A and B are shown apart, each in its own frame.
Chain A
Amino acid sequence: MAHFPKPAEGSWTQHYPDLSTADASYEDSISPEHYELERKAIFGKTWLNVGRVEQLPKVGSYFTKEIDAARSSVIIVRNAEGIQAFHNVCRHRGNKLVWQDFPREETSGTARQFICKYHAWRYDLGGACTFVQQESEFFDLDKAKYSLADVRCEIWQGFIFINFDKDGTQSLVEYLGPLAAGLEGYPWGEMTAVYKYKSDIGANWKLFIDAFAEFYHAPVLHSRQATAEESRKLQQYGFEALSYQIEGPHSMVSSWGGMSPPKDPRMVKPIERELRTGLFGPWDKPFDIELPPALNPARHKAWGVDSFVFFPNFMILVWEPGWYLTYHYWPTAVNRHTFEAALYFAPAKNATDRLRQELAAATFKEYGLQDANTLEATQSMLESRAVSEFPLNDQEILLRHLHQTARAFCAEYVKTTPGAKPSPALV
């Protein structure tokens, strides 16, 4: 029996006519040829979120970002003009320009200029080459021609995005579309107490998005997080979303909460009761927040969290008690990716606030570890190809949409790129 209303078509999936209800193939998550296509067609062409403006507080602040899927490293820097991105490559002989100790590790800091470790070529914060060691040994070298190669970089609501497609013309705001427009005005910039986590995951990048884009698994995989009685109830009840929205390549699921605070304190663990916090974050809002229209689209009183999937690999979760979380999934191989999570809270006013955030972050990690390990189990069994077609239910609509969108980007790339061949996942 449905607890929450569905669209007139009878299901969320059928409400979107481009989505089928047939069993789905997961060849797109195990085919090395398909991964090669995804690298170029998706990670080489779309807007990728690399961080937030608070990471670059003043002129000269910079951080580097390794994007293995694009075989690139990028420097993101604040200069007098604003925030810009450059390929992290010295124009002399291709050494990586900015790194500390380990060339493959990301770094951050503040600089007046960038100096290559190899031959001391220098670049100002705007990427212009300002010094060449033994310049007279070169042959009519014009430094003006050897600026750092720039990468398109635009900002939405304080989120910094880059795009490796030099010839692309679509702006970030146009790409993010109406779902993002509906999130504008949320007080992102005021949530500056940040907890970041990183993990190397032995699964295709889309499989972890799958895990976070459906809550069908939550009452089962995470059953022991709740008290025994509550867990039985949750599993019997199952999961139904309040709403699903799909706009172009992006999507969102709106979910009920009810645990912050719970109706009955016995529903949650003793430390949560004692501290008034938990998976949904501290129960008391840091300040009044007026919800922009994309949040809680069903305007349901039981609303708990909205999860937005911004294609390809960026998720924002906004929680009813007034904080947000981001996920990034950076592929490193067909069956590996680097997972990043960041929890953003309003700065703690006192130790009680801070401890509440600590427990919310600790709780996130307990759930995340279960999810992460399950993925490796899924990847290895998909790779066995013992089974190749899988049924997806209506609460898994965002997975269907994600994989279909990713395949469509690859198909378009094959169609428009001379010499590109379709992968086994496209035929």
Chain B
Amino acid sequence: MAKLPADFADLEPFTDWCLAAEDDRFAKRYGSNMDEMQTFYDAVFPRMQDALAYLDKFDLDDLPEDAYNLLLLYYSLCTISFPVEAWRQPRVPDAGAAHISNVLAPAV
């Protein structure tokens, strides 16, 4: 069963990144290797403008489930952008065991 809108069927292999909580997205990043994140990045980054054009047609408070999943995929792109574009590693350099938990975020 497709999780994403039909226009974005090419991104279906990455729907395990559709995670609603920031802490879960961050944990998945820390549990992934660079090859996995690079593959995800290379697939979703080039489709970002298409995805936003698609999503911007909806009222944010009334997103269909597949559109919401697409948005979550792009939240995850934000989460992994630093490892891919800057750190070249999943972890924040010199962050050791430090942990910052997200305790509140907008509903969507």
Interface on A for B, CB 8 Å cutoff?
Answer: 193-201, 221, 224-225, 269-271, 274-275, 339, 341-342, 347-352, 354-355, 357-359, 361-363, 365-366, 368-370, 372-374, 376
Which among A269, A275, A342, A361 is the interface contact of B86 at CB below 8 angstroms?
A: A269
A sample of 14 inter-chain contacts (CB < 8 A) reads A198-B103, A200-B99, A224-B86, A269-B85, A269-B86, A271-B81, A274-B45, A352-B55, A355-B75, A362-B78, A369-B95, A369-B99, A373-B94, A373-B97
A271/B106 in contact, CB under 8 A: no
In the bound complex, how far is the Cα of B75 from the Cα of A363, in angstroms? 12
In the bound complex, how far is the Cα of B94 from the Cα of A372, in angstroms? 10
Chain A residues lying within 8 Å of B102, measured Cβ to Cβ, are 195-197, 361, 365
Q: Determine the residue in chain A with the shortest Cβ distance to B91.
A: A369
Q: Is B4 an interface residue (CB 8 A)?
A: no
In the bound complex, how far is the Cα of B71 from the Cα of A350, in angstroms? 11
Which among A195, A348, A361, A362 is the interface contact of B82 at CB below 8 angstroms?
A: A362
Given contacts A224-B93, A370-B93, contact A270 B85 (CB under 8 A): yes
Q: Is B74 an interface residue (CB 8 A)?
A: yes
Chain B residues lying within 8 Å of A274, measured Cβ to Cβ, are 45, 48-49
In the bound complex, how far is the Cα of B108 from the Cα of A366, in angstroms? 22
Which among A201, A225, A355 is the interface contact of B74 at CB below 8 angstroms?
A: A355
Query: What is the number of residues of chain B that contact chain A, defined by CB distance less than 8 Å?
Result: 38
In the bound complex, how far is the Cα of B20 from the Cα of A332, in angstroms? 31
Q: Is B98 an interface residue (CB 8 A)?
A: yes
B100/A354 in contact, CB under 8 A: no
> 7 tightest CB-CB pairs across the interface, nearest first?
A351-B55, A196-B104, A369-B95, A373-B98, A372-B98, A199-B100, A373-B96
B56/A370 in contact, CB under 8 A: no
In the bound complex, how far is the Cα of B88 from the Cα of A260, in angstroms? 24
Interface on B for A, CB 8 Å cutoff?
Answer: 22, 26, 45, 48-49, 52, 55-56, 58, 60, 63, 71, 74-75, 77-79, 81-82, 85-87, 92-106, 108
B81/A269 in contact, CB under 8 A: yes
Given contacts A348-B106, A352-B52, contact A359 B81 (CB under 8 A): yes
In the bound complex, how far is the Cα of B83 from the Cα of A269, in angstroms? 12
In the bound complex, how far is the Cα of B75 from the Cα of A235, in angstroms? 31
From residue A315, how far is it (CB to closest CB) to chain B in Å?
A: 16
From residue A326, how far is it (CB to closest CB) to chain B in Å?
A: 13
Q: Determine the residue in chain A with the shortest Cβ distance to B67.
A: A351
In the bound complex, how far is the Cα of B108 from the Cα of A358, in angstroms? 11
B85/A368 in contact, CB under 8 A: no
Given contacts A199-B100, A351-B60, A373-B98, contact A225 B71 (CB under 8 A): no
Which among B45, B52, B98 is the interface contact of A355 at CB below 8 angstroms?
A: B52
Chain A residues lying within 8 Å of B97, measured Cβ to Cβ, are 373
In the bound complex, how far is the Cα of B95 from the Cα of A376, in angstroms? 10
B87/A224 in contact, CB under 8 A: yes
Which among A342, A354, A359 is the interface contact of B106 at CB below 8 angstroms?
A: A354
B98/A352 in contact, CB under 8 A: no
In the bound complex, how far is the Cα of B55 from the Cα of A354, in angstroms? 11
Given contacts A351-B52, A351-B60, contact A199 B98 (CB under 8 A): yes
From residue A380, how far is it (CB to closest CB) to chain B in Å?
A: 12
In the bound complex, how far is the Cα of B101 from the Cα of A103, in angstroms? 20
A351/B56 in contact, CB under 8 A: yes
Chain B residues lying within 8 Å of A221, measured Cβ to Cβ, are 94
B104/A376 in contact, CB under 8 A: no
B45/A271 in contact, CB under 8 A: yes
Chain B residues lying within 8 Å of A365, measured Cβ to Cβ, are 26, 100, 102
In the bound complex, how far is the Cα of B9 from the Cα of A237, in angstroms? 47
From residue A329, how far is it (CB to closest CB) to chain B in Å?
A: 14
In the bound complex, how far is the Cα of B92 from the Cα of A221, in angstroms? 12
B55/A376 in contact, CB under 8 A: no
Chain A residues lying within 8 Å of B52, measured Cβ to Cβ, are 351-352, 355
B60/A372 in contact, CB under 8 A: no
Given A196-B104, A351-B58, A370-B98, 5 more pairs with CB closer than 8 A: A196-B105, A224-B93, A365-B102, A366-B82, A369-B98
Chain A residues lying within 8 Å of B95, measured Cβ to Cβ, are 369-370, 372-373
In the bound complex, how far is the Cα of B97 from the Cα of A320, in angstroms? 32
Q: Determine the residue in chain A with the shortest Cβ distance to B92.
A: A369
Which interface residue of A195, A197, A199, A362 has the most chain B CB atoms within 10 A?
Answer: A362
B85/A198 in contact, CB under 8 A: no
A199/B99 in contact, CB under 8 A: yes
